[in-house]
Amino acid sequence: MRIVVMTGAGISAESGIPTYRDEDGLWTQHNMEEVASRKGYLEDPQRAADFFEKLREAKQGKAPNAAHYALAALQNRDHEVTIVTQNIDGLHQEAGSRDVIEMHGSLRDMYCDTCTRHAGVYAYPEHLDVASAVCFSCAQTGTLRPDVTYFGEVPRRMGEIYQALFECDVYMAVGTSGEVQPASSFMIFAQGYGAKAVELNLTRTDVSELYDIGWYGPASNVVPMLVGDFDNLLEKVLDS
């Protein structure tokens, strides 16, 4: 069985990392257009770098929770499981997941907007001073930035993601509001090519009725419970 698991900010909420759109989410405190859009970044690259620096600080000391570990365990079963995440926190890898597709990049790394090369974590300073930082690949000054996808930019590895969606039997969305494109259309794409779609979220979302089946509650309860009884889950999903 081929399974694509798409995760969003909700899977990391119980690790202490705030989501974007919930009541205490990051967009209640920050202007998304200013700090995390392509336009905002071009207006003021340092403002965007400072915002992601705060996220990097906030991520310090945060550990994967039971939901991340359960998905890592699922990858070690008989099924072919592709994990695609919108998250930039690296917690899937810390829990032991392999080959995670980080479509929105990662807080670990830097990226050069001129030569489009990814600089390794070893080069990411504690404080990124955009104006003076020099890319060691193309020697440009002022073009290094966090290796994250800003709103208005194309996410990473889209070819691999659509191939996995095209081939999968089951598509599972975990802890995502379904409001950010293109991730929000993945379910429609996978369903269109014959997959069953499963939603796991704290509560029902605006797109819940489009899924074939859903389970609701905190990810750290629901994901391990379903992974623990995965064959039963698959039977229910395929019958839905």
Tell me the closest approach of the beta carbon of residue 134 to ligand NAD, in angstroms: 28
Q: Which residues in 17-46 contact ligand NAD (CB under 6 A)? A: 17, 19-22, 25-26
* Tokens 């499981």 found at: 81
Residue 10 touches ligand NAD, criterion: CB under 6 A: yes
Question: What is the spatial distance between Cα 148 and Cα 163, in angstroms, rounded to a whole number?
Answer: 22
Q: Exposure string (b/e) for 36-65, b if CB count within 10 Å is 16 or more?
A: bbeebbeeebeebbebbbebbeebeeeebb
Give the residue from 154, 152, 198 showing the smallest Cα distance to 174: 198
Q: Has 104 been annotated as catalytic?
A: yes
187 binding ligand NAD? (CB under 6 A): no
Stretch that binds ligand NAD, among 5-13, 130-138, 159-167, 188-196 (CB under 6 A): 5-13
CB-nearer residue toward ligand NAD: 103 or 112: 103
Radius of gyration of the chain (CA): 18
Residue closer to ligand NAD, measured from CB, 135 or 155: 155
Contact residue for ligand NAD among 14, 109, 199, 212 (CB under 6 A): 14
Could you tell me which residues come within 8 angstroms of residue 217 by beta carbon, excluding any fewer than 6 positions away? 202
Residue 155 contacts ligand NAD per CB under 6 A: no
Site for ligand NAD in 213-232 (CB under 6 A): 218-219
75 binds ligand NAD (CB under 6 A): no
Q: What is the dihedral of CA 163, 169, 175, 180, to 10 degrees?
A: 40
Residues 111-130 within binding reach of ligand NAD (CB under 6 A)? none
In the block, tokens 């779609």 appear at 197
Of residues 91 through 110, those in contact with ligand NAD by CB under 6 A are: 104
Residues 6+ apart with CB under 8 A from 235: none
Tokens 């079963």 map to which residue? Answer: 77
Active-site residue identified among 68, 79, 92, 104: 104
- Asked if 201 touches ligand NAD (CB under 6 A), the answer is yes
Task: Determine the length of the chain.
Answer: 240
**Tokens (6 digits) for 117:** 């090369």
Left, alpha or beta for 78 (phi > 0: left; psi -120 to 50: alpha)?
Answer: alpha
Which one of 123-131, 164-172, 176-184, 231-239 is the stretch in contact with ligand NAD (CB under 6 A)?
Answer: 176-184
State whether residue 171 is helix, strand or coil.
Answer: strand
Which of the stretches 127-135, 158-166, 177-185, 231-239 binds ligand NAD when contact is defined by CB under 6 A? 177-185
Active site positions, annotated: 104
Binding interface with ligand NAD (CB under 6 A):
8-10, 12-14, 17, 19-22, 25-26, 86-89, 104, 175-177, 179-180, 201-203, 205, 218-219
